[in-house]
């Protein structure tokens, strides 16, 4: 059993209030959870308007599946949000 963990740091220049940010984050998290059946949450920079930090975790049976899932999630985040991906971190735990 492998735990795949990812953290994305996004820049959303159009966000000018925490309410706008909350709507953007809530939508993205719901889409990730529904499509990939992962755990996802905003984990940092909650009080900064234009920076979004989300973390995602999933349990998979082997490393190849973890790599594939993380590639799919990365492409999905890039495609589904107008925010710029500033940083992406990946970790595998056994």
For residue 51, list its beta bridge partners: 11
Cα Rg of the chain (Å, integer): 13
Task: Report pLDDT for 56.
Answer: 98
The pLDDT of residue 78 is 94
| pLDDT higher than 90, residue 6 | yes
pLDDT tens sequence across 29-60:
999 999 999 999 999 998 888 999 999 999 99
Query: What domain count does the chain have?
Result: 1
Whether pTM > 0.85 for this model: the answer is yes
Q: In whole angstroms, what is the distance from residue 41 CA to residue 32 CA?
A: 10
CATH number at residue 81: 3.30.70.1120
Write down the pLDDT at residue 46.
Answer: 85
Please tell me the predicted confidence (pLDDT) of residue 74.
96
């Amino acid at each position: 059993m492998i735990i795949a963990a990812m953290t994305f740091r996004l820049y959303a220049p159009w966000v000018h209030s925490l309410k706008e940010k909350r709507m953007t984050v809530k939508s993205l998290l719901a889409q990730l959870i529904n499509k990939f059946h992962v755990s996802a949450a905003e984990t940092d920079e909650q009080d900064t308007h234009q920076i979004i930090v989300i973390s995602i975790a999933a349990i998979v049976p082997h490393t190849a599946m973890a790599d594939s899932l993380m590639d799919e999630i990365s492409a999905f985040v890039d495609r589904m949000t107008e925010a710029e991906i500033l940083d992406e971190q990946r970790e595998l735990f056994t």
